[in-house]
């Protein structure tokens, strides 16, 4: 079983992008590629070959769920889990996002000191 090393992060807000990248690289020691849109993510995903994809829900243009549907056509979601980040915390919405194929949902605002650990737990939860 592969190790969790590379994380693809899709987020339109540059500040969140930066903080998240820092939190995952500095705290978790992962390699992070930040994409500012769903379209960019679709372009980069094959070349980057991430182990884990972190996807913002609300984005201009192609939003998170739409990006997920497109990603699903190219990659094996069992092998590369996708997790959403969202401010919306309704359990029904979380359920909806899971049904689209997301492994989990991380609620914003996140604790940057714990984000790496959170992602690691999610990654491990898919291992049998």
Partner 1 sequence: MESPQQSTTPMPSTAQPRELSRLAALLRYEILDTPEDSAFDDFTALAAQMCDTPIALISLVDDRRQWFKSRVGLDVSETSREISFCTYTIAGDEIFEVPDTLQDPRFCNNPLVLGEPHIRFYAGTPLTSPDGYNLGTLCVIDRQPRRLSPEQRETLERLGRQVIRLFEQHLLAHRHAEQAALQQAILDSASSAVLVTRPDGVVTSVNPTAERLLGYSEQALVGHPLTAALFRPEALQRRALLLSSELQVPVEADFSVLSAPLHRGRRDMSEWRLRHQNGNEVPVLLGVSAIHDEQEHLRGYLVNAYDLAYQEQLQLRLQQIAAQVPGMLFQFHWRADGPACFPYVSEGVEQIYGLSPGQLAGSFAPIVGRVHGPDRSALLISIRKAASELTPWHSEHRVEHPHKGLIWVEARATPLQQADGSVLWHGFVTDITARKAEQLELDKQQEMNRRLLEALSEAVIACDAEGNLTLFNEKAKQWHGADVAPLSPSEWAHHYRLYRADGVTPLEPEEIPLRRALNGEHVIDHEMVLLSNGAPRHVLSNADPLYTSDGQRMGAVVVLHDITERKRIERLQREFISTVSHELRTPLTSITGALALICSNVMGEVPESMHELLEIAQQNSQRLSALIDDLLDMDKLHAGKMRFDMLEQPLQPQLELALRSNGSYAERHGVQLHLGACPPVNVTVDAMRLQQVLSNLLSNAAKFSPAGERVELSAQVSDGRVRVSVRDQGPGISDEFRARVFQKFAQADSSDSRQQGGTGLGLAISKELIEHMGGQIGFESEPSQGACFWFELPIQGQAKESP
Two tokens at 90? 């309704």
C-beta of residue 57 within 8 angstroms of C-beta of residue 86: yes
In the complex, least distance from residue 88 CB atom to partner 1, rounded to whole angstroms: 10
Two tokens at 110? 């996140």
DSSP lists the bridge partners of residue 82 as 53
Residue 112 interacts with partner 1 (CB under 8 A): yes or no: yes
> How are strands ordered across the β-sheet holding 6-10?
31-35, 6-10, 52-56, 82-86, 104-107
Q: Which is nearer to partner 1, 13 or 46 (CB)?
A: 13
- Restricted to residues 14-53, the positions that interact with partner 1 (CB under 8 A) are 15-16, 18-20, 22-23, 26-27
Q: Which stretch binds partner 1 (CB under 8 A): 42-50, 59-67, 73-81, 111-119?
A: 111-119
- Restricted to residues 73-92, the positions that interact with partner 1 (CB under 8 A) are 87, 90-92
In the complex, least distance from residue 28 CB atom to partner 1, rounded to whole angstroms: 10
């Amino acid at each position: 079983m592969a190790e969790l090393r590379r994380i693809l992060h899709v987020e339109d807000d540059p500040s969140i992008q930066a903080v998240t990248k820092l939190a995952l690289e500095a705290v978790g020691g992962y390699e992070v590629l930040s994409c500012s849109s769903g379209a960019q993510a679709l372009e980069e995903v094959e070349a980057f070959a991430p182990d884990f994809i972190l996807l913002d829900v609300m984005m201009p243009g192609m939003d998170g769920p739409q990006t997920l549907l497109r990603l699903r056509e190219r990659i094996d979601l069992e092998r590369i889990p996708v997790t959403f980040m969202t401010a919306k915390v309704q359990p029904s919405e979380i359920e909806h996002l899971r049904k689209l194929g997301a492994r989990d949902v991380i609620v914003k605002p996140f604790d940057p000191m714990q984000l790496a650990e959170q992602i690691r737990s999610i990654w491990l939860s898919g291992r049998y």
